Structure 1
């Protein structure tokens, strides 16, 4: 599994209805994309718990080939043409779990980034993060949750889709889910991935 994410920060006075309409008309185009585990079409609005207006899709890929095919294909190029080329963040998958609401349509998502301190043993930190991911996956309302690592920066990313409201004790950046494409979600390996 590979996690991928990019953020398109928009002006404070940007009409976010444009993003909603874009996803409503184009989101279904990846509903059958081979090798895509899932794509959550995420958005957050300034003043609604967010400091910025942002369109920020998050992907879990079942295959590297599919991820590369998307990045170099016409769909991503259309986004580049409309918004400019965003920096694409990429992490190697460490764990994936379905939650109690795995069949529900998610309405919200939380992304949490965690830099590992230089004096922390990566294996111990990752084992602890995997255990937290498993615990999180058991909470009511969780559709699914994933953990991945960027070993260049030693950054972990935790990503969770929620059926409805996110409990206040769950920390991280919160997003609205406008659409979920999940053609090969069943191909995402469950549990620890090493």
Structure 2
């Protein structure tokens, strides 16, 4: 009974996450670059993986990290977007996005535990790169409001999906599942870096 209801909740959350992603990639002119650029597509995939990974790692950390770490990621991603509209420059923002997936894969796979503030600092650092990179692309599109609404909604839904997945799948055989999930994220990050 619990397994069936958890699967339904996860399926619903993942479908809800697709709504803003579909809107951002198909409807708005500012996101038509996704279909035209392999490198940008890699960063979009990396961002989706990062959002799920933040949720998974938050669930592993438990306690305050369950809400503080995902909210930090989302908030600093928004701040990173606004930074792209200033004269500040974040060198290697795209590299930071791709590296973030590898780092999160390692942290999940290893079961690394930090304090909530340190964990929030790690994901926040990478969130600035994610937000800044997308903000640069959107700077001339006039689609900032749609992007911000979509990224906040999608981010929180994917973070929650990651948390629920971690709590559901890692209950019984936590080490084996943790290593597999972290390994998949790590491997995906390496593939994304190689294809960039």
Q: Which has the higher contact order (CA 8 A, sep 6+)?
A: 2
More strand by share: 1
TM normalised by structure 2 equals: 0.29
TM normalised by structure 1 equals: 0.29
More helix by share: 2
